[in-house]
Each structure stands twice: as structure tokens, then as C-alpha cells.
Amino acid sequence: MVVVCVFCFKGEKESKRSDIFTPKREDQLAHLNMEMAPPSPSPGPSSAAEPSMTSITRENSSASIAHLPPDTQKFLKFAETHRTVLNQILRQSTLPLAEGPFSVLVDHTRMLDFDVKRRYFRQELERTEEGLRREDLPVHVRREHVFEDSFRELFRRSPEEWKQRFYIVFEGEEGQDAGGLLREWYVIISREIFNPNYALFLTSPGDRVTYTINPSSHCNSNHLSYFKFVGRIIAKAIYDNKLLECYFTRSFYKHVLGLAVRYTDMEAEDYSFYQGLVFLLENNVCDLGYDLTFSTEIQEFGVTETRDLMPNGSNVPVTEENKREYVKLVCQMKMTGAIRQQLNAFLEGFYDIIPKKLVSIFTEQELELLISGLPTIDIDDLKANTEYHKYQPTSLQIQWFWRALRSFDQAERANFLQFVTGTSKVPLQGFAYLEGMNGIQKFQIHRDDRSTDRLPSAHTCFNQLDLPAYETYDKLRKMLLLAVSECSEGFGLA
């Protein structure tokens, strides 16, 4: 029997719940003007002195609560240690999280499992509807013009009207919407969002599956209004608890959550450019044999133009001393600066329906699951379409790996798929058709001959897992689960 000591905190919080639903627009979009997270130290050979990622996670957690009262720190450290038991208690609790004895966790949701967060999220959304009358809002659309007709009908509606129940009417059809037509409308419009005729999104070259904002979307004169509309559509689907066939890049989800993008996020956006950045960080600038300045080339409609990353940047050379600043600025330009107007419009629409403070309880991986749902992953199909490098199917670690993966629950399997491929999307025709940056690319497991104190790492462009030769099944399962659950950056450099 497990004895759990419960600390009750009903009083002080870092922010008032009432502020969640009354945010200012400029506060919600402020993160787009913040600096990008600095690059991690350049990777080098593994050594005995190298700290484990487990210890780094623990240190980061301690640093994030250092400013809190001692009793709160004590409870949060306890909660971190007994996370599994804590989440089981919360699942069985009939009290809303914000009103129960664990209300302090509202401001420290990293300790909560996805389903517990999602339950709190829905409780808070329902709380906003108390005392409100949700009426039906008719939406008349032609089946062949769902996006344009929906835009015409809904764009000028207020956020409060968007929160009413949409009653879908397909022109020329006699069906009454008892919920089925609304689901069908969501399916159709989630596909039309990515219609290349609107030029709003592009498939990421890193995996050819996920989408990112098209920097050249201004070729559509209405693009900013469309982005605001799309932001509202995706938030409305979450609000209505409807799933969409929408999968975006990691940096896009981070923008929605107000998280800083990192240079490692460039791997899925532009792999060859990312490789160049890694080479720059790992080598001395003097040995490169070419000159770099604080500028970058941007291509639009076949025309290449040079943009400065700082005032007079084309005349400022990149040196060994300032190369990390260059990496930060060039990634900021490519992942944020080049699409800032589009992001502003999308986020303004999204936050009209769901406030930033509420959605930001999720990680970027969890946000994808919130939008698109938990996938059903056929382990036998994945195993049948796996390639091994320096391992054999009969290797002890490989047998342990498949045993561990089968032991994962549905959410943990989704986290694993995101970790190794960059998205939770399962190929429609099975894992034999898994996409990589160069086309069909089966899942690969490579032996990592470095220290077995390292976590597994992944290279999402190649659907590749680097798996150390762990000594026991228990250690392999623990390290794999820690990697896919806690390590959103992947830690691997291809």
C-alpha cells in the first residue's frame, strides 16, 4: 500500500484565475517580439563528466520553483517525486483541480499527465459558460465552397457569437444538423485550410507531412484575414471538443503556446540549413573557408533577396565570439520574423476563443494531441516496417525495446511517435508509407555506442531512434519513457 502525504494549498497562486479569460491582446502576442531561446552548448564527445538528462531535468525543475514560499516548494518537490500516484489521485477526484486541495498545481501543470491537464482545461472552459445561454448560430454553406462561404458567414461575428453552437446548413440539402453535419463541416474545412489555392500553409520539407505558415502568403491579398479566421476555426474546434486533421510543425505549436523556439526546431523546417548551423557551432569559424555576415537570403516567387539580421548586418562578419548570436538571429528571422504578420493574425483569432494562459498549460506535443486526438498505433505494423543499424531483430535491446513500447499506454505511444517522427500522425496506409524528408522512410533504430547513461535521441527527418545498449530491460524502459515524455528537443544532432 502506498501512503501519500497530502499538502493542501487553497490560497495564494501566482496569478488569479479571473485573469485567464480577461487578457489584453498585446499581452497575449508579446512573446512574438521576445528573443529566441539561446542555442544549447555545442555537442561534443560524451565524457564521464557529462551530466545525465535526468539530472538536467531535475535541476531545471528546481530552478523554476526557487522563488516560491518554502511550503509550496516542499509540496511541488513531493509532487514531482510521486507524480504517478498524484495523477492517479487527481483522476479519481470529483473536485475541479482549481478548487481542490491540489489547486497550486494549476500554476505548475508540467507535473500533470495529458489527460489530467485536458480535464482541467475543459473544466475551465465550461466555467466560462456558466450563466450564458448557448444558442444555435446557423451557418449556411455550399459544399463546393465551404471555406469561402464559412468565412463570409463567420468572419465578422464576435468572439461571443463564435462560442455559440454552430448549426450547419449545406445549401440544397435537406439534412438537419443533429451534430453529424457539424462534424462533417469540421472535416471539410480542416482540409480546405491547407488548399494551396489560398497559399496560407506549406508542407514542411523536413517530413512532408506537417504544415508551416507560408512566408509568401501575401500573394493572397486577403491572407491576414484568412489567418485570423483559421486561428478561430482551430480554437473553436478545441472549444467544441472536435478533432481536426491538422498537423503543424513544432515551432508553430510553440508560437501558439508562447514558448521560445530553439535552433533545433529548424531541423524539421529546413534540414540542410539546420545541418549548416550545427557545423558552424561545432567548428571554428576561422576554419570554415568562407565568410558569413549577419544577413540571410530569403526566396520569394523565385527571387532571392538578402535581409539583414541586425542594422547594417551585411557588413558585420560572423566570428567565433558572436556565432551563437548569429544562429539565434537567423533562426528567429526564419521561424518568426519572416511570418510575424501571419502569426499575429492567426494568434489573434485563436486567442479570441481560447486565452493564451489557459492553452499554455500544454506542451507542444500535447497541443497536437488536443487538436488532432490520440492516434491508434499498431505496434505489429511498426515493427514489421522497422530497419536496424548495428542491431539485429534478435538483439536483446531490440527485444526489450518492443516489449517496452507494448507496455506504453496510448498517450505514451503517441509521445513516442512524436519523438521519433515529429508528429503523432499515423500514415493512412500504415507504417510502410511513413514519410521522411526524402520521401518514404521507414522507422529506423540505430545503436548508440556512447554511454548507457545517455537518454535515447531522435532525428525526426529520418524517423530515426538512436538507442544506447542498455544493460537491463528496466533501465531501457525507464530511459525511453523519460526521453519521449520529458525531452521535447530530442537531444540528437543528425
| Active site residues per annotation | 461
- DSSP assignment, residue 248? B
CA torsion sign, 214 to 220 to 224 to 226?
negative
* CA 165 – CA 134 distance, rounded (Å): 6
Residue 293 in contact with residue 314, Cβ under 8 Å? yes
Cα 383 from chain centroid (whole Å): 26
* CA 412 – CA 314 distance, rounded (Å): 46
What does 357-422 look like in DSSP terms, one character per residue? HHHTTS-HHHHHHHHH------HHHHHHTEEEES--TT-HHHHHHHHHHHHS-HHHHHHHHHHHHS
* CA 35 – CA 23 distance, rounded (Å): 22
* Number of separate helices (H) and strands (E) present in the chain: 20, 12
Lookup result for grid cell 464559412: 150
* CA 225 – CA 349 distance, rounded (Å): 9
Identity of the amino acid at 475: K
Q: Which residues of 386-403 are buried (b: 16+ CB within 10 A; e: fewer)?
A: beeeebeeebebbebbbe
Lookup result for grid cell 485536458: 118
Identity of the amino acid at 75: F
Residue 230 in contact with residue 190, Cβ under 8 Å? no
Residue 237 in contact with residue 244, Cβ under 8 Å? yes
* CA 362 – CA 154 distance, rounded (Å): 28
Integer angstrom CA distances of residue 140 from 144, 160, 349, 402:
12, 19, 21, 50
- What is the crossing angle of helices 223-239 and 146-154, to 10°? 90
* CA 223 – CA 229 distance, rounded (Å): 10
